[in-house]
A and B are shown apart, each in its own frame.
Chain A
Amino acid sequence: MASGEADVLDRLGSGLRALGAWIDDRFPMTKLIKEHATEYYAAKNFNVWYGFGVIATFVLVLQLVTGIFLTMNYKPASADAFASVEYIMRDVNWGWLIRYLHSTGASAFFIVVYLHMFRGLLYGSYKKPRELVWIIGMFIYLCLMAEGFFGYLLPWGNMSYWGAQVIVSLFGSIPVVGNGLSEWIRGDFFISDITLNRFFAFHVIAVPLMLVLLVVVHIMALHEVGSNNPDGIEIKEHKGPDGKPIDGVAFHPYHTSKDLVIIVVFLIAFAAVVFFAPDMGGYFLEHANFEPANQLQTPPEIAPVWYFTPFYAMLRASAEQAPRRRAHGLCRAAAVLSLPWLDRCRVSRSGIAVACTRSR
């Protein structure tokens, strides 16, 4: 009996190995798994700050899955959009959960990405040779903002409508081409059914495709140079006799099992918001957005959704200050993009930049 079972397992095992070999002759399956997981070495002294990349990836998948399920009941037309969201909330089985996961996921995405970037700044993760990892990350952030902006119009609430009006008008303030450009973006002379329809297309396919592609490129670039670590030691420079970095451990199973714990902790906090405070007191879902879009009435309490707050002050500048503020904003964007070359200090050893000696 027992020997019979072992025999079956043996034959199953050798069958799977044969299948694996058959695939490996045609597709680099084992090679990819080795390069990016079982023989990809990462520093063993990561602290909790290094967990936000994996949480961001997890939230991306969560947004893609919940987003696909939302599109099955959402109608991207100005006459139907608001009612279809109410329908999802009230009549679709578990629709409220799927939508709250998606809306909370949007805010969570920004929180996690902001913390991920903060880690990069804190430990100098953008420095040579990781400049491209940082720059690709900045493009991901841009895509994420576009994704958040397009998605915010879809419920067709009054805050959706006027938020879109403000941001699209922003393009209208570009000299010469501005007016034509904002008309081109809207496809109409005002935010209309046509605009909603195309923002839906951007939100559910164009931007997510770009986002996923950029995330793949971001991870490929990272795996080429390897993560840094809180102590700033380049693990590739210290290899043992077997050619493996002595300060590193294989990503799988060591880091993946740590990452699972991190994801579980994240999910506890995330679920608390989804189930007990999905509107987060008006920060995640703004109260004026529970009214349908009204093109004659800007909400009296209008304010951008929290993750765009840093840019709000720039828009409040008076017309006299505006050109200076605009130049200021562009300079800041340029500075963040060129950070790897602006900051010439050595990677700090303690997480706090102590001595800033020139390394080049």
Chain B
Amino acid sequence: MAPLVKGCSVAESTGFTRRHFLTVATLVTGGAGVVATAVPFVSSFNPSARAQALGGPVQFDISKLERGALAKIEWRGRPIYIVHRTAEMLASLGKDEAMLRDPSSKESAQPTYATNEHRSLRPEFLVLEGVCTHLGCAPLPRFEVAPADLGPSWPGGFFCPCHGSRFDLAGRVFQGVPAPLNLPVPAYRFVNDNTLLIGSDTGNS
């Protein structure tokens, strides 16, 4: 197509510039119409009002969770891991820091009240999203120390079956694995001594 400016400056015939003006105007208007029409179609792909409304906080009774045991519950379609850690498990956290990528959780996602050495409100109760920070699989709990398949330096923790990422008993990621960050900690609080509320943390300091 000849440039519009050339037609205008020459202006040999009014029809020539008029034709170009109409062509460009039609293209611009039509293009804007196509873009505007695309908006509702593209936007219909985003989470619907119903999908957004689901996912309020969930409760969990921790009184029946034995020391050393893990409970899995669902919150917003995600697995949430609750671990009642033993004294030995907590003690292992101080010893494995040399093997970790982000031992003090500086880059990882957790509420401020879980940004500490045990990554939790109460040291013995670990609450994590069971969502590998690599590609979203649910890491498997592997709490035994130094099993044959994970090697002699394994302090107990989580192993992702998808691509082999490793996390310790505070959900902190090891070096040299695909996952870049520690397992996220969701917002949570204790409603009373025995009841954990996941998805809401109003009242925590």
Contact = CB atoms under 8 A, between A and B. Distances in A.
Contact of B77 (A169, A170, A172, A190): A190
A315 B134 CA distance: 9
A173 B164 CA distance: 17
A184 B175 CA distance: 31
A302 B137 contact: yes
B111 interface: no
Contact of B178 (A191, A296, A315): A315
B47 A165 contact: no
Contacts of B137: 162, 165-166, 298, 302
A173 B76 contact: no
Given A165-B136, A188-B77, A194 B176 contact: no
Interface in B49-96: 51, 55, 72-74, 76-79
B114 interface: no
Given A162-B162, A166-B162, A299-B161, A184 B45 contact: yes
B135 A298 contact: no
Interface string A168-181: 11101100000000
B10 to A, nearest CB: 39
B179 interface: yes
A321 to B, nearest CB: 9
- Most A CB contacts (10 A, CB to CB) among B135, B139, B175 go to B135
In which size bucket is the chain A interface?
A: 35 or more
A149 to B, nearest CB: 14
B140 interface: yes
The main secondary structure of chain A at its interface with chain B is: loop
Nearest to A316: B163
B136 A296 contact: no
A173 B133 CA distance: 10
Interface string A293-332: 0011111111000000000000111111010000000000
Nearest to B177: A318
B177 A319 contact: yes
A221 B161 CA distance: 45
B179 to A, nearest CB: 6
B136 A172 contact: yes
A267 to B, nearest CB: 37
A187 B160 CA distance: 25
In which size bucket is the chain B interface?
A: 20 to 34
B153 interface: no
B178 A316 contact: yes
Contact of A322 (B161, B162, B178): B178
B164 A316 contact: yes
Contacts of A319: 101, 134, 173, 177-180
A183 interface: yes
Interface in A128-184: 162, 165-170, 172-173, 183-184
Contacts of B180: 319, 322
Nearest to A189: B76
Nearest to B176: A318
B205 to A, nearest CB: 28
A79 B136 CA distance: 22
Contact of B46 (A162, A170, A184): A184
A36 to B, nearest CB: 34
- Most B CB contacts (10 A, CB to CB) among A169, A173, A298 go to A298
B130 interface: yes
A166 B173 CA distance: 18
Contacts of B134: 169, 315, 319
B135 A170 contact: yes
List the 9 closest A-B pairs by CB distance, nearest first. A190-B77, A169-B136, A319-B180, A169-B135, A296-B79, A298-B137, A298-B138, A166-B135, A188-B51
19 contacts: A169-B134, A169-B135, A169-B136, A173-B135, A186-B47, A188-B47, A189-B76, A192-B51, A192-B77, A198-B45, A295-B77, A296-B130, A296-B138, A297-B79, A297-B138, A300-B140, A301-B161, A316-B163, A316-B164
